[in-house]
Amino acid sequence: MRPPAIERMGYYPTDDPVVEIIRTYLKPSIEKGRLFDPCAGEGKAASALGDALNCETWGVELSPERAEKAQNVMDKVYQAPWQACVLSDESVSWLYLNPPYEFDRFDGQKRLEWDFLKTTTSKLMRGGLLTYIIPQKILGMIEVARLLAGHYEAITVYRFPDSLYEKFKQVVVLAYKRKVFHPPTDKEVLSLQNLAITELEPIETAIEPVYELLPAPSRGANGKPIVFKRTDWEPDEVVEATIEAGVQKTSEWLDLIHPMRGLAQLSQPVMPLKKGHIAMLMASGMMGTVRLTDEAGKPMLIKGRVIKVVEKTEQPDSKEADTVVETYKDRFVTTVAVLKQDGIQVIQDVKGLSEFMKAHGEKIAAHVLETYKPLYNLDPTQKEV
């Protein structure tokens, strides 16, 4: 970067009038959307658009001062370089991208406008909206034109209004992300490149919305819960986070050091528990942590639980050739964790669970029956007889 750009950290905030005009082009979804801004600045643009168009707002900002301001107006913001953050693919419904207008100071051959577009496109869900604000000349880069043509459709490009265009000669690119990647032709790429030297129409307030926002996805592309976090924490931040949400705060840890912690969840059974009941108690984790001894007489702790596994399948739509149907199925898997002096063993296959129950089932049953004594144990008193 040049010295002035380094001082600004590549910060070129979108002018308020342009933000307001962009708003008029968009129709909010009925359900809440999710806007992501990897160059959030002070969060003014993302906050204004999120409030107006029913979107939660996530972002990243390099400058500590600007990040602090953004955190006050956006839903989730990390003070970090974008490259030090992790965000699940296809996890946002709106990518609002106004990147630094410079070469990468560590790689003088790479434009940051291109790098940010390349690294954030995968984070946008299929059918989601891209808002890309860049200097007009960047459209002439073959890498930018090829990516836009291959990953996006319904592309429109406007320059900034007359009173604002001369400052940085910026344009606004609006487009939907394609549901399926389209290998761009040379003609399509050249058509976009030519926009770098074309006299474009200035962006003006839309009479009716042109683009419609999608609801925020509940899962990422891998079918797992969406993850958004930073990975380059400072030492003092690591200490603070560990104290607030470290392993010693997890239910698994608390169960190990307080074996009786979860027992209050169960009521006293009316009748003696049978083997099937005992197996279900252990598998569900409601039995708590059980202290036993292994074959060598050494102490061990066991705890069972049921975890949900999400399985994803993809297949072409029988009605629409260019559409891929994703199916997610929840499957519940029983696991038993065994903590011994020489380490931890996690058993989750049927054979392993069967062998474990054969070896320790009677001890577990004795523990459960002693802990959950029934109200009526099939041993009537003389009076009851």
> In residues, how long is the chain?
385
Rounded to whole angstroms, how far apart are CA atoms 304 and 343?
17
**Domain(s) of CATH 3.40.50.150: residues in the chain:** 3-230
Work out the pLDDT band at 106, boundaries 50, 70, 90.
low
Give φ, ψ of 295 to 5 degrees.
-60, -30
User: Which pLDDT score, from 0 to 100, does residue 8 have?
Assistant: 52
306 within 8 A of 333, measured Cβ to Cβ: yes
Residue 59 predicted with pLDDT over 90: yes
Rounded to whole angstroms, how far apart are CA atoms 324 and 278?
44
Work out the pLDDT band at 307, boundaries 50, 70, 90.
confident
Closest CA to 136 of 73, 197, 52, 191: 197
Query: How much is the mean pLDDT over the chain?
Result: 87
Residue 169 predicted with pLDDT over 90: yes
Mean pLDDT in residue range 282-306: 78
Work out the pLDDT band at 120, boundaries 50, 70, 90.
very high
Work out the pLDDT band at 127, boundaries 50, 70, 90.
very high
Work out the pLDDT band at 289, boundaries 50, 70, 90.
confident
Rounded to whole angstroms, how far apart are CA atoms 219 and 203?
34
- CATH class of segment(s) 3-230: alpha beta
User: What is the tens place of the pLDDT at every residue in 223-281?
Assistant: 889 999 998 877 887 788 788 888 888 877 877 777 666 554 566 777 777 767 776 77
Mean pLDDT in residue range 8-19: 84
Both tokens of 204, joined, read 């003006």
Mean pLDDT in residue range 211-226: 94
Mean pLDDT in residue range 99-117: 81
Rounded to whole angstroms, how far apart are CA atoms 92 and 126?
9
User: Which pLDDT score, from 0 to 100, does residue 262 have?
Assistant: 55
User: What is the tens place of the pLDDT at every residue in 328-378?
Assistant: 888 888 788 888 888 888 888 888 888 888 888 788 777 777 777 777 777
User: Which pLDDT score, from 0 to 100, does residue 302 have?
Assistant: 85
Residue 40 predicted with pLDDT over 70: yes
Query: Which of 384 and 165 is assigned the larger pLDDT?
Result: 165
Rounded to whole angstroms, how far apart are CA atoms 281 and 273?
10
Percent of the chain residues topping a pLDDT of 70: 90
User: Which pLDDT score, from 0 to 100, does residue 85 have?
Assistant: 96
User: What is the tens place of the pLDDT at every residue in 64-105?
Assistant: 999 999 999 999 999 999 999 999 999 999 999 999 998 765
Window from 43-47, 53-57, 274-278 with minimum mean pLDDT: 274-278
Query: Which of 186 and 276 is assigned the larger pLDDT?
Result: 186
Mean pLDDT in residue range 18-44: 97
Residue 191 predicted with pLDDT over 70: yes
The number of beta carbons lying within 10 Å of the beta carbon of residue 199 is: 5
Dihedral, 29, 92, 70, 23 alpha carbons, nearest 10: -40
206 within 8 A of 174, measured Cβ to Cβ: no
pTM of the model: 0.63
User: Which pLDDT score, from 0 to 100, does residue 327 have?
Assistant: 87
User: Which pLDDT score, from 0 to 100, does residue 1 have?
Assistant: 46
